[in-house]
Amino acid sequence: MCQISEHIVSWMADPANNALEPGSDLPAFDQPLVGVAAGEDALFTFIKNDIGPEFYWTPEEAFKAAFPAETVRADELSVIAWILPQTLHTRLAHRKSVGLPSPEWSKARHYGEKVNE
């Protein structure tokens, strides 16, 4: 996991990948929080049963839907999750906003979401 986390953190540190808007030196997000779970973790089955099987796929089901020709078991999979926290700059601007999102929050939402593409 350490290599994956380091790669994600390094990639996000580059303003070309993480800018509040094109040409800005301000990052859209703070350092990402990265976690990894085993594909066979019982929590995935618990969540599926808790919120409904028609809505949620286990990692094995998601993999098989994306790669139907591949044979895989849940214990061969890992799930990587990341959180992109808002920067202090954006949070402070958003606190002052009344009625509508702050321009900083809107930019982070619009341009920053391109990070996930």
Model confidence over 36-46: pLDDT tens digits? 999 999 999 99
Higher-scoring residue by pLDDT: 39, 117:
39
Which residue in 38, 33, 32, 34 sits closest to 79, CA to CA? 38
- What is the overall mean pLDDT for the chain? 93
d(CA 93, CA 28): 13
d(CA 38, CA 77): 6
Residue numbers of the domain that contains 90: 1-32+86-117
> How big is the chain, counted in residues?
117
Residues 63, 53 share a domain: yes
Residues 79, 44 share a domain: yes
Residues 98, 77 share a domain: no
For the question of whether the overall pTM of this predicted structure is more than 0.85, the answer is no
Number of domains comprising the chain = 2
Strand partners, 35: 81
Residues 68, 39 share a domain: yes
Residue 76 is predicted with a pLDDT of: 98
Residues 44, 76 share a domain: yes
